[in-house]
Amino acid sequence: MEKDVRDVGDVGSCSEGRALLDQLLDKWTMLVLKALWDGPLRFNALKHRLDGVTQKTLTQCLRRLERNGMVERRVIPVSPVAVEYEITALGRSLGKLFASVYTWTQAHRADIVEARAAYDERNAQQEAA
């Protein structure tokens, strides 16, 4: 049986839980893990796969993922030194969750477009009044 959102406990009272949810629901987290799914990547290769991410944002995201055990960082002793990132088993365990979110977005895309249009129309009418 599918859990209701009311059954997940009081996440709001736990700062550690909120911080983890913030990271998991961050768009860059999902995109970084997706980019690493097929194998390890060096930082610059990863950055090139993520259109629009800044170096600072990617670095911060990777550090949080590494700290939470979802990504492993490895220094490659070449000249110049390179850094490679790889998804861990814990990071891979999010695959079904992310696939569900993707499936949901595809199934409800038209509903969301319709809701946005209705919202924008209501706001335009209110601003005109």
Collapsing DSSP states into helix, strand and coil, what is residue 70? coil
Instruction: Mark whether 36 and 72 lie in a shared domain.
Output: yes
Q: Tokens 């990547």 label which residue?
A: 41
Instruction: Mark whether 81 and 116 lie in a shared domain.
Output: no
- Residue 98 belongs to domain spanning: 94-129
Instruction: Mark whether 117 and 64 lie in a shared domain.
Output: no
Instruction: Mark whether 55 and 81 lie in a shared domain.
Output: yes
Instruction: Mark whether 79 and 102 lie in a shared domain.
Output: no
CA distance 80 to 48: 19
CATH of the domain at 82: 1.10.10.10
Instruction: Mark whether 54 and 3 lie in a shared domain.
Output: yes
pLDDT of residue 3: 61
Contact status, residue 81 vs residue 30, Cβ threshold 8 Å: no
Instruction: Mark whether 81 and 104 lie in a shared domain.
Output: no
Nearest C-alpha neighbor of 68 from the set 122, 15, 16: 16
Nearest C-alpha neighbor of 98 from the set 20, 30, 19, 26: 30
pLDDT of residue 114: 97
Higher pLDDT, 18 or 41: 41
Kindly indicate the confidence band of residue 19, based on its pLDDT and cuts at 50, 70 and 90.
confident
Kindly indicate the confidence band of residue 98, based on its pLDDT and cuts at 50, 70 and 90.
confident
